[in-house]
Amino acid sequence: MPTIERVLLSVTDKTGIVEFARALAGLGAELISTGGTARALREAGLDVRDVSEITGFPEMLDGRVKTMHPRIAGGILAIRGNAGHMSALAEHGILPIGMVVVNLYQFEKAAAQADAPVEHLIENIDIGGPTMIRAAAKNYQDVAVVVSPSDYAAVVEELRTHGGALSLATKWSLARKAFAATAAYDSAISAKLDTIGVENGQFHIEPRTLPATLSIHAPRVLTLRYGENPHQAASLYSTGHTGVAGGEQLHGKELSYNNLVDLDAAWQLVREFSRPASAIIKHTNPCGCAEQATQAESYRRAYEADPVSAFGGVLAFNRPLEGETAAEIAKTFVEAIAAPEFTPEALGILTAKKNLRLLRVTASPVADPVVKSISGGFLVQDADTVSLDESALVVKTKRAPGEDEMEALRFGWKVCKHVKSNAIVYARRGQSVSVGAGQMSRVDSVKVGAMKAVLPLEGTVLASDAFFPFPDGLEEAAGHGITAVIQPGGSVRDGEVIDAADRLGLAMVFTGIRHFRH
């Protein structure tokens, strides 16, 4: 008799279940199943016993009650080496179950529907499934619990090569995955229901709030060689199949921690633009960004802003990467590239560079909250997805920006949002010219941006992520030839700054909103 003499199967995701069950039956295991799973196995020609045959009760209450019964729970929870447990099974005619193969109702799929009624959500909360999973995982030494189709092949291989038995290490690994699966499931339910309130007997979506308890479930998808530095361990965890964390690496050596941080910074920046855009990132700050009529031109404009910093940079594009652009990229050393797709021509060019990392990224439909660890806890905030509100723009100077200046200001503002504060961006229409990032005073960021400029600053505009506390930053920038400024406003010295702009002949626009990026 095989070590796993009896298997209970009840799955929502039926990927590979027929093949897995056939392999188990071939090893001599008896199959017990429920509902749609049992039907799928029978249609495939497999012998299956219904759970109702084991329990002596039919499925009840529209399927809400199937497996919650002592003849099932006892068969899973009984410890084989405990004489009292085995005596109790014999006394009550309960058959031991050696493997539980269960995955759960797809609550997250139901929750993803924006208008899903509460009743639909509640019906998609699995009760029996988590109970069986947790029972089997608790009794891991005697019962194997399999919650993912991705484990089917390895389980079958080990059973075949070890006389129908699984090692303690394998059963322990499966149990850990099982507890993680139920924890994630409960977290998804809690997070969704936390957004729904009741008022006057009616359900409604609560005003957007952050959760009372922070619960993050993200399976590890990649173990990294190290973190920011070689002495730091690191891994990548993903909440789904979108964004940089859910991207598909098409080529190149393994991604590093720093690559991923920079790829995300670059990807978030190019997502700001509707026309073809390119971003070149170094240490999370843009050293070049452009939006042009063609992708190749946007890359050339981004690159020419700071070719020295672009060496060894990380790139992102908001369009499928084209061959012409790839040919331009191939002229210099690049660490990694993120794009929604790569054309065959682009892949042919770029894969000639053995180590160049290429990441295909699908845009996330909803921006994830921003989570930052601090000693003893976490800070959580909404992602900064606010776009420039044209109706809120206020011209504060005697001279209003011209059409070209206004387009340049809009562009510079989008880039500035993605620069570490204190942030300054010198820009032309559709092109960043230079960036001053992360200085301790705003006037220093203005100076650094001017110092790093490769292209002429004469005739550029200036974007600032927060207000100018004194006129000195504006005066410094004016000395380098800027003609217009965009900034949030809100300083107690706004009047002095506006007077300085008028004195210098600058046009200045207030946005009423800042974009600190710490």
21 and 170 co-located in one domain: yes
* Catalytic-labelled residue, pool 14, 217, 253, 283: 283
Q: Residue 365 falls within a domain, yes or no? A: no
52 and 168 co-located in one domain: yes
Q: What is the rounded average pLDDT of the residues 158-174?
A: 90
Higher per-residue confidence, 124 vs 405: 405
* Catalytic-labelled residue, pool 138, 217, 253, 353: 138
- Continuous segment of H or E residues that includes residue 379: strand 377-381
Give the whole-angstrom CA distance, residue 309 versus residue 383: 27
Whether 363 shows a pLDDT value over 80: the answer reads yes
Share of the chain above pLDDT 70, in %: 94
pLDDT (0 to 100) of residue 118: 72
pLDDT (0 to 100) of residue 34: 84
- Residue 507 in contact with residue 483, Cβ under 8 Å? yes
pLDDT band for position 1 (cuts 50, 70, 90): very low
Share of the chain above pLDDT 90, in %: 63
Long-range contacts, stretch 81-86, CB < 8 angstroms, 24+ apart: 81/142
Distances 225 to 160, 234, 325, 361 between C-alpha atoms, Å? 34, 7, 31, 22
Q: For residue 157, what are the contacts with CB-CB under 8 A and spacing of at least 6?
A: none
138 is catalytic: yes
Highest mean pLDDT among 10-19, 100-109, 170-179, 265-274: 265-274
Sequence letter at residue 183: A
283 is catalytic: yes
pLDDT (0 to 100) of residue 2: 47
- Residue 397 in contact with residue 506, Cβ under 8 Å? yes
The residue assigned the tokens 């992520």 is: 465
- Any idea what DSSP says for residue 155? H
315 and 435 co-located in one domain: no
pLDDT (0 to 100) of residue 114: 63
Give the dihedral of Cα atoms 484, 490, 491, 494; nearest 10 deg: 50
Whether 151 shows a pLDDT value over 80: the answer reads yes
56 and 152 co-located in one domain: yes
Q: Residue 486 falls within a domain, yes or no? A: yes
Tens digit of each residue's pLDDT (9 = 90 or more) over 257-310: 999 999 999 999 999 999 999 999 999 999 999 999 999 999 999 999 999 999
489 and 353 co-located in one domain: no
Q: Count of domains in the chain?
A: 3
Q: Residue 229 falls within a domain, yes or no? A: no
pLDDT band for position 66 (cuts 50, 70, 90): low
Tens digit of each residue's pLDDT (9 = 90 or more) over 207-257: 667 777 787 778 889 999 999 999 999 999 988 789 999 999 999 999 999
Q: How many residues does the chain have?
A: 518
Closest-CA residue to 490 (of 502, 500, 498): 498
Q: Residue 386 falls within a domain, yes or no? A: no
Highest mean pLDDT among 178-187, 338-347, 387-396: 338-347
Give the whole-angstrom CA distance, residue 280 versus residue 278: 7
49 and 168 co-located in one domain: yes
Give the whole-angstrom CA distance, residue 467 versus residue 127: 54
Range of the domain at 352: 244-360
157 and 41 co-located in one domain: yes
C-alpha neighbours within 13 Å on the C-beta side of residue 326: 22
- The CATH code of the domain that includes 169 is 3.40.50.1380
Q: Residue 224 falls within a domain, yes or no? A: no
183 and 271 co-located in one domain: no
Q: Where are the beta strands (DSSP E) in 276-344?
A: 277-282, 285-291, 313-317, 334-339
10 and 158 co-located in one domain: yes
State which of 150, 168, 193 marks the end of a domain: 193
Distances 426 to 228, 302, 413, 429, 452 between C-alpha atoms, Å? 30, 13, 10, 10, 11
- Residue 328 in contact with residue 299, Cβ under 8 Å? yes
Higher per-residue confidence, 406 vs 186: 406
The residues pairing with 485 across neighbouring beta strands, listed in sequence order, are: 462, 508
Tens digit of each residue's pLDDT (9 = 90 or more) over 83-139: 888 888 888 888 888 899 988 767 666 666 667 777 777 777 777 788 889 899 999
Give the whole-angstrom CA distance, residue 261 versus residue 157: 38
Q: Residue 180 falls within a domain, yes or no? A: yes
Q: Which of 15-24, 178-187, 333-342, 504-513 shows the lowest per-residue confidence on average (mean pLDDT)?
A: 178-187
Q: Residue 409 falls within a domain, yes or no? A: yes
- The CATH code of the domain that includes 458 is 3.40.140.20
State which of 193, 228, 255 marks the end of a domain: 193
411 and 461 co-located in one domain: yes
- On average, the pLDDT of the chain sits at 90
Task: Count other Cβ atoms within 10 Å, centred on residue 514.
Answer: 17
Give the whole-angstrom CA distance, residue 183 versus residue 177: 10
Q: Which of 76-90, 322-336, 469-483 shows the lowest per-residue confidence on average (mean pLDDT)?
A: 76-90
400 and 470 co-located in one domain: yes
Render the burial of 82-121: b for 16+ CB within 10 Å, e for the rest. Answer: eeebeeebeeeebbbbbbbbbbbbebbebbeeeeeeeeeb
Highest mean pLDDT among 49-53, 60-64, 84-88, 291-295: 291-295
- Residue 195 in contact with residue 210, Cβ under 8 Å? no
Q: Residue 372 falls within a domain, yes or no? A: no
46 and 166 co-located in one domain: yes
Give the whole-angstrom CA distance, residue 223 versus residue 338: 20
pLDDT (0 to 100) of residue 60: 58
State which of 160, 193, 226 marks the end of a domain: 193
Higher per-residue confidence, 190 vs 17: 17
pLDDT (0 to 100) of residue 67: 65
pLDDT (0 to 100) of residue 13: 85
